[in-house]
Structure 1
Amino acid sequence: MKELKRDLGLLSVLAISIGAMIGSGIFILPALALEIAGPAVIVAYALAGVLVVPAALSKSEMATAMPEAGGTYIYIERGMGPLLGTVAGVGTWFSLSFKGALALVGGVPYLLLLFDLPVTPVALGLASLLILVNVVGAKQTGRLQVAIVVVMLAALGWFTAGSAPSVQSANYAGFFDAGVGGLLAATGLVFVSYAGVTKVASVAEEVEDPGRNIPLGILGSLAFTTVLYVAIVAVLVGVTDPGSVAGSLTPVAVAAEATLGYAGWLAVILAAMLALVSTANAGILSSSRYPFAMSRDRLVPPSLSAVSDRFGTPVNSITLTGVVLLLLIAFVPILEIAKLASAFQIMVFALINLAVVAFREGSAEYDPEFTSPLYPWMQVFGAVTGVALLTQMGPIALGGAALIIVGSVVWYVGYVRPRVRREGAATDAIRRQVGRDALTEVESSLEADTHEVLVALTKNADAERERALVALAADLVRPDDGRVVAVRFEEIPDQAPLTEEVTVQSASDVSFETRTEALAADLDVRIEADEVVSHDTKHAVVNFAADRGVDTIVTEHEPLRLRSRVLGDPIDWVVRHAPCDVLLVDNLGYDRPEDVVLSEGRGPYPPLAVDVADAVAAANDGTVSLWYPADRESTDQRRRTIDEYQAELSALLSVPVRTEAVRTDGGQPSRPDLLVRRGADDRLRDAVFDDRPVFPSPGCTVVTVYPHESRRPRFVRRLLERVTF
């Protein structure tokens, strides 16, 4: 694959970054921000500059670790995965295209102060010229950027220094009259003035000595531009009457004419044109690299990653970006759409900060030459403040950003997902943390004592099935010298009164107690037998468990009949209301199970299931097999992380452990004696997470565990388990 030439030095990096910022941010936005915050717009610019620092540091770090074309897209895709990478790539590409078009259309009013020209044709002509320059090569682009920035800064420096003596303190009266709300709203608006600070990262593959030049270029240009913005806006407010430039299309020209006369007015017009052309030029340069980088990762068609033999540039990507830019200028109200795109830009900055955390906490290869200070607090600050600023952008801006996100997701599902099997560093970092949390819970569960287990016999079961349930309970309590309470629950019709006659022991009850005494001696466990008669068995089971304070209820799982499906399974009700853990048994017998399988299809093994499997295997001198679905679409990193998790889990158990990958299409490596699995926490989670068994019927007794509500994982936890495991 052809690589882009590394011919952009530090001067070009600074020029691209400064040129990408000094445009609409200073020549157009101050007038709009003045209407919102008044003189406090000066603080808004300073505050916005500070809030950009976390993203600038994060992007500098990732750019030195991955100096590849694509910038924001590359970092988010590698850190957060192909889905968010697609969203970031498509959204940032559109955002930069919108802002480039806005810069050209917004710069024309300054030109109209000199010439009577139509706005759209002039903007289209300038756009076509810049597209051609970018096709010719990045070196020519960098040189043009340096020349533009030097002339532009000279003119702005003259305006600031020459106008400063004319500042009137009275113009700052009522500085904070707009309040905190006005200040934050203005900060959200002018935040986009600094968005270009990290554009240079999108051409990192073409930067000489990226480990040095990228951080210096990004951070140096941010510091310089923040000071320059604050100085210019302070002068702009101080030399004009309050409200005289608010809403103006050419606010800096108005101020220059008042302080420097015709010559200053002319210099500002020249600077404005150069600045806005420079913004558009940097926008084309950087935005065209997004389709290029996405194509190399197979997120868009491969033709967009082709590099021209003649010019050494991605001509197809630049051409596509140019066509979009021209269409926007010709047919779309750019100012409104640029505001929408700006909201997405703020969100992308928040994702940039999270991507750094994903890389550092994950297991992906990541070795940056520059590292952000104050990690992770700097990144947390940047993500939180980014979300806060989004709330200031208004419902229309948020809705537009949401539309871009939905479109990107549709593209991902329709084009990317069938072609790409890859995941981001964040997914693995979250998976590892979820695994560590699960192992901690397993360790606590294994250390906890089980003092009393209730075996609830809710229907006429034969002696063998009774024995199976009691034997299972005995294996659970034996290590802690606990007790099994075996209770037959009999339900009588509501119209039948609960008199002494119905509670008299029958011959069947006496036989049950005799069998229980024999079981106690045979299993070497204390067993207490009892009978309960009630109008409602499910309430009776729960009430008995609560009165006795048992640790676990063991009962048979009732097959769902039509009535159960319509009105609800009584056992489901017991699970939801039990004051303790519940084990539901699909009872095919229990005869010293030595091969115990722990089955989990979508997440780490539940602590209660691990505890039960370990106790049963230990009681019968057996082994535990960890079943996990054989997933041919699993990434190598996912498999390695799960292997490590299973190895750590095995070390916690008291019996020999082996792992077995099991196909979900009917094949299984062995026929176990007992299988233990997780049950759905509730109907909603069952629908969301599809917690039905992913394996075929194992042909043995199956124990489905339901931990008490206080020990069940919350929705977000289950969602993370489902997504990452």
Structure 2
Amino acid sequence: MASLERRLGLFSIITICISSMIGDGIFILPALGFMATGPSLFIAFLISAFCVFPAAVSKAELATAMPTSGGTYVYLERTFGPLAGTIAGLGLFMSILLKASVSLFGIGLYLSFVSNFTDLHVILFFLTIITFLNILGVGKVSSFVTAVLFITLTSVFILCIFAGFNIQPAYYDPLLPNDILGLLSACGILFVAYSGVTKVAAIAEEVKNPERNLPVGILLSLFITTILYSLVSFILVGNFDFQSITNFTEFNQTPIVLRLASSVGGKVFIHIMAIVAVLTMVNTANAGILAGSRFPFAMARDQLIPGFLGKLHKKFLTPVTSILLSGFTIAIILTQLDVIKIAKLASAFMIFIFIIINFSIIVLRESGAQWYKPGYKAPFYPFVQIFGILTGSILLIGIGQLAIFAIIGMAVPGVLIYFFFARKRVSRKGVIGIRGRRTDLTSQPPQEINKHYLGQESEFTTDAEVVIALFGKERSAEMLVEMGISMAQHTSIEVAHILEIPEQTDIHDLIEEPAEMKSVRRRINAMAEDKDENITYDPVVSHDVSRTIFEISQRVHCNWLLVEWRGKARGRFTFDNPIGWLKSHLQCNLAVFKDKGVRYIRKIMVVIHNDKNDKLILKMADHLAKIYLAEVTLMRFAKTSSSDEHKSFEQRYLKELSQQLTAPTRVKVVVGKNQVSSFIAETIEYDLLIMGANEPRLFKRIQGTFKDKMMSRAACSVLAVHESTFIRS
């Protein structure tokens, strides 16, 4: 499939980002914000910037992990699945075009001050020119964008210098004439002024060195635009007495920027600023078509909408059909709809999308998806994302019912298109679907399992006692295999080295085995030969880790799945679980191993918890004790404050359990104030700790279960086992 040419550098990114914002943000929105909050307009711009910042850094991270055309649509589709991707793609496509339509209507407003051209046909003419420039290619459009942006910034800077001498300090008092509610309302209105800061992510596939240029470009653009908006709005409110304005409808008939220009340079300067405003609005509309057209392009490539929208022009290497669709959609809006009202609805939907963007960062980081490797990571995770979710929610509340209408109005078409077109053509689930509840696996008969997910290198037709799943982050694959050999009682072992890739990537594109897998294969094969063990090593490329593990365990009829415990990865606040919901629904027993580098196991510590895993724990301890010629110590915990009778009861209970073991066994009741700390102190004297591994709830995944705390702090190696409810007798 043809790909877009990477031709955009850092300067082009900053130019596109700023150009997509300053049109509305300087020439239209300040008047609406001034009407809502008065002299605190510049504060509202600053607050809005802070609310946008979490989404900006989050989107920069997502863009470096997925530098493909489509931006937000791609991120949400890969995170939450094709339904969310369809809704997000169409919703963003429409909201960006609606914003571009507002800019085009602004062209008509400002043209009326320098000419008699206010007819809709003139506005449509500008739309045609912009669409044609986009068809020619980003490079040509970028040159036009750069020139107009330079003229706009220069003109606004000159206006601010001269207007600054006319500032009246008394006009800033009172700062909040409409109280906090007015300020909150203004923030909701002005939020859309910053929405273009992440628009460049939609054309990430055309960015050179995206790992560096995307985050730097987005953050620099946000910083520059925030300073510009705050400066312009501070000077604007210092030149007009909010208290003396009694009729805002009449006041806004002349744009506030032109009123400021009139007070500085008279009619000549009004004409200059009106021309600059028209050029800037053209620029903003251009940026809207540029970014908006990439959404249907990316969606068509993923089969969510008809494929002809995803084709590139052979000469210009641009998605011509998508660009023409964008232009045609704007033309309908301009001729048929009340664009200003719909633009406000679109801005509410944009706030909602930014909330989901912040949430998607949390989902992707905590899921541990192997393919998610951003070149840039948002700072202060997850606090920045939580802040973005909370502030976005507050802004939606401030907008009121319009926010609900925006979400429903944009979501319904996406849902309809997904169920009537895309659902039959895609089987992707997204990270949430793969890691979440998988009744599609547990309810599916083994003979109906789809071979596609297992690749073509192995049919997995040989039975194995133990399947060892490698995910590429193991401390020592050899030590994990060593434990697997012991568990398998020297029978057969299947080592499945799983490489997870995004669902949108074709498995067959990965022809050559990665270097890391080749190295592990060589070492595992050498171990099998040296120890004369029946070990089969198979590299597996997978879109769906849960399905792959489930299918392999089904095919080889294993009794054990062995994985390494990885704890909390850096930059995450939940404990790792590579197989998600399937952990408690496997049709084989699960063993999680934490290697502490212990090579000789002579003393085994067993923690008994009186749960369903105790029988399996005792069986495993007895088996490994025979393999390693080790001594077993069964342990229970009793608080220091417990009665002697209770401690004696625990001692007798352990002695009863010890009768089930054939290996040398001792019992011990550990007395202390804290269960975890007391057991951790005991691990110093042992080589291996065996205990149960129950499935935790979400809060426990964040706080850490007893198993996680023990594994992270134990002085010896740890093996946690979980008995399957489906295990064969």
Shorter-chain TM-score bucket reads 0.5 to 0.7
Q: Is 1:11–1:146's contact at 8 Å kept on the other side of the alignment?
A: no
Report how far residue 331 of structure 1 moved.
1.4
Partner residue of 1:400 out of 406, 409, 416: 406
Matches within 5 A, 1:369-518: 369-428=375-434
Change in 2 beyond 3 A, CA 1:285/1:656: same
Report how far residue 639 of structure 1 moved.
11
Report how far residue 280 of structure 1 moved.
0.2
Aligned to 1:255: 260
Q: Is 2:19–2:284's contact at 8 Å kept on the other side of the alignment?
A: yes
Q: Is 2:69–2:295's contact at 8 Å kept on the other side of the alignment?
A: yes
Matched, 1:49 2:37: no
Aligned to 2:158: 158
Q: Is 2:309–2:319's contact at 8 Å kept on the other side of the alignment?
A: yes
Aligned to 1:565: none
Q: In 2, distance between residues paired with 1:174 and 1:43?
A: 13
Q: Tell me, which stretches of 5 or more residues in structure 2 are unaligned? A: 439-545, 547-557, 562-576, 592-611, 618-695, 702-729
Q: In 1, distance between residues paired with 2:117 and 2:152?
A: 23
Aligned to 1:122: 122
Q: What SS does structure 2 have at the residue aligned with 1:114?
A: coil
Instruction: Name the stretch that deviates more: 3-12 or 638-647.
Output: 638-647
Amino acid at match of 2:224: F
Aligned to 1:108: 108
Change in 2 beyond 3 A, CA 1:625/1:6: closer
Change in 2 beyond 3 A, CA 1:273/1:649: farther
Q: What SS does structure 1 have at the residue aligned with 2:421?
A: helix
Q: Is 2:109–2:118's contact at 8 Å kept on the other side of the alignment?
A: no
Q: Is 1:109–1:119's contact at 8 Å kept on the other side of the alignment?
A: no
Report how far residue 379 of structure 1 moved.
0.6
Q: Is 2:106–2:278's contact at 8 Å kept on the other side of the alignment?
A: no
Amino acid at match of 2:330: L
Q: Percent identity?
A: 38
Q: In 2, distance between residues paired with 1:279 and 1:39?
A: 27
Amino acid at match of 1:396: L
Q: Tell me, which stretches of 5 or more residues in structure 1 are unaligned? A: 433-603, 605-622, 627-637, 658-711, 718-725
Partner residue of 2:345 out of 335, 340, 349: 340
Aligned to 2:36: 36
Aligned to 2:291: 286
Q: What SS does structure 2 have at the residue aligned with 1:277?
A: helix
Q: What SS does structure 1 have at the residue aligned with 2:326?
A: helix
Aligned to 2:613: 653
Matched, 1:206 2:227: no
Q: What SS does structure 2 have at the residue aligned with 1:115?
A: coil
Q: Is 2:51–2:388's contact at 8 Å kept on the other side of the alignment?
A: yes
Matches within 5 A, 1:544-693: 641=580, 644-646=583-585, 650-651=590-591, 653-654=613-614
Aligned to 1:307: 312
Change in 2 beyond 3 A, CA 1:713/1:183: same
Amino acid at match of 1:36: A
Q: Is 2:559–2:589's contact at 8 Å kept on the other side of the alignment?
A: no
Aligned to 2:84: 84
Q: In 2, distance between residues paired with 1:179 and 1:17?
A: 32
Q: Is 1:163–1:260's contact at 8 Å kept on the other side of the alignment?
A: no
Q: In 1, distance between residues paired with 2:253 and 2:33?
A: 11
Amino acid at match of 1:653: N
Report how far residue 649 of structure 1 moved.
6.1
Matches within 5 A, 1:6-25: 6-25=6-25
- Taking structure 1 as the reference length, what is the TM-score of the superposition? 0.61
Aligned to 1:597: none
Q: In 1, distance between residues paired with 2:270 and 2:229?
A: 19
Instruction: Name the stretch that deviates more: 163-172 or 278-287.
Output: 163-172
Change in 2 beyond 3 A, CA 1:649/1:177: farther
Q: In 2, distance between residues paired with 1:65 and 1:366?
A: 6
Matched, 1:219 2:224: no
Amino acid at match of 1:45: F
Q: What SS does structure 2 have at the residue aligned with 1:23?
A: helix
Q: Report how many residues are paired.
A: 463
Report how far residue 339 of structure 1 moved.
0.8
Amino acid at match of 1:411: I
Report how far residue 9 of structure 1 moved.
1.2
Aligned to 1:551: none
Q: In 2, distance between residues paired with 1:339 and 1:642?
A: 40
Q: What SS does structure 2 have at the residue aligned with 1:166?
A: coil
Q: Is 1:31–1:249's contact at 8 Å kept on the other side of the alignment?
A: no
Q: In 1, distance between residues paired with 2:56 and 2:300?
A: 25
Q: What SS does structure 1 have at the residue aligned with 2:398?
A: coil
Q: What SS does structure 2 have at the residue aligned with 1:308?
A: coil
Aligned to 2:331: 326
Report how far residue 263 of structure 1 moved.
3.8
Q: Is 1:72–1:202's contact at 8 Å kept on the other side of the alignment?
A: yes
Q: In 2, distance between residues paired with 1:58 and 1:203?
A: 16
Report how far residue 654 of structure 1 moved.
4.4
Q: In 2, distance between residues paired with 1:185 and 1:47?
A: 12
Amino acid at match of 2:185: A
Q: Is 1:21–1:197's contact at 8 Å kept on the other side of the alignment?
A: yes
Amino acid at match of 1:378: V
Change in 2 beyond 3 A, CA 1:249/1:413: farther
